[in-house]
Amino acid sequence: MLFGAHCPGGVKKALDNGAAMGAETVQLFVQSPRTWRFPEHDPADLEEFRSKREEAGVPVLVHALYLVNLAAPDDAIYSKSVDTMRATVDTACVLEADAVVLHLGSHLGAGFETALERLVPAVEQVLDRCNDRTWLLMENSAGAGGTIGRSLDELAAVFTALGRHERLGVCLDSCHLFVSGVDVTDASTWSALLEDLDQRIGLDRLRALHANDAKAPLGSNRDRHDNIGEGLIGEGLGVFLAHPKLQALPVVLEVPGADGKGPNADEIRKLRELHARATS
Ligand SMILES: [Zn+2]
Ligand SMILES: [Zn+2]
């Protein structure tokens, strides 16, 4: 496994910040995560990222803006979301990122079937801009409100509705699985889910993991990440990491860190140690 983190600093600094914390995988935002405005990236910055990354040889994931909702019932939000995703994927392709990780969005009460009708044409436009190098990964959701992707059923339904698109994959988040009711600390539950995923989507489509502990209980649908070993998953996160079929994947931390400033070297070290204990 390649252990890394969501790194601050965007296109200009994320790789350096990742290297400083010993990250073997770097996830980044290519815009401020809390505003719609998409920056005009200086082509020289993108080129510098690309060459630095080639030297470092680390997998790179771009995380989409949190405001994006490709199932939004509101037309204005929907079209802003599509525009943002197109710009995000275009930038990720220039960076030669391995994937863009996307939260599918929320139907905000309209129901899953209605959401699917909004979602499919939007995601198709985004997938059109991906390429063989840079995929789109759907992340499973914590299941709060009307969020889409709360279960394997929903992810598989979206995958099928998109015609099993050749550049569409999945990223599974341990905290989101746990709070949506999947006990990833139980080896048989976790391997049953992966077997199910293999049959309905294909394990080769699982391209990244997010390793986060959870502050909220199993099945609570509350998206509250905790530091490694400090939450309700605790040592059980080792079960999530130890599955033999996942050992080639990049693993990204999205934890608050001791100081609330996000992942750091200490969290990556704890994750590596947990994995070593669980696989020894
Ligand atoms: Zn995540
Ligand atoms: Zn989360």
| CATH code of the domain covering residue 77 | 3.20.20.150
What is the whole-number distance in angstroms between the Cα of residue 165 and the centre of ligand 1?
A: 22
What is the whole-number distance in angstroms between the Cα of residue 238 and the centre of ligand 2?
A: 19
Alpha helices in the chain (DSSP H): 10-20, 43-56, 75-95, 112-129, 152-161, 174-179, 187-200, 237-242, 265-279
For 238-276, write each residue's pLDDT tens digit. Answer: 999 999 999 999 999 999 999 999 999 999 999 999 999
The band of 122, judged by pLDDT with boundaries at 50, 70 and 90, is: very high
Distance of CA 173 to the CA centre of its chain: 7
The arithmetic mean of pLDDT across residues 122-135, rounded, is 97
Q: Is the dihedral of CA 74, 117, 124, 15 positive or negative?
A: positive
For 85-108, write each residue's pLDDT tens digit. Answer: 999 999 999 999 999 999 999 999
Backbone angles phi, psi at 151, to 5 degrees: -145, 165
**Amino acid occupying residue 201:** I
What is the whole-number distance in angstroms between the Cα of residue 46 and the centre of ligand 1?
A: 24
CA distances from 104 to 25, 101, 137, 246 (A): 23, 9, 10, 23
Residue 34 pLDDT exceeds 90: no
The arithmetic mean of pLDDT across residues 172-195, rounded, is 98
- Pairing relationship of beta strands 213-214 and 225-226 according to DSSP bridges: antiparallel
For 187-235, write each residue's pLDDT tens digit. Answer: 999 999 999 999 999 999 999 999 999 999 999 999 999 999 999 999 9
What is the whole-number distance in angstroms between the Cα of residue 47 and the centre of ligand 2?
A: 30
Q: What six digits make up the tokens of 109?
A: 């009460």
Q: How many domains does the chain have?
A: 1
Ligand with the closest atom to the CA of 210: 1
- The CB-side HSE value for 272 (13 A sphere, CA atoms) comes to 15
Instruction: Report DSSP letters for 94-133, one per residue.
Output: HHT-SEEEEE--B-TTS-HHHHHHHHHHHHHHHHHH--SS
What is the whole-number distance in angstroms between the Cα of residue 128 and the centre of ligand 1?
A: 24
For 46-89, write each residue's pLDDT tens digit. Answer: 999 999 999 999 999 999 999 999 999 999 999 999 999 999 99
Q: Is the dihedral of CA 11, 122, 81, 111 positive or negative?
A: negative
What is the whole-number distance in angstroms between the Cα of residue 177 and the centre of ligand 2?
A: 10
pLDDT at 33: 86
Q: Which domain holds residue 214?
A: 2-279
pLDDT at 58: 98
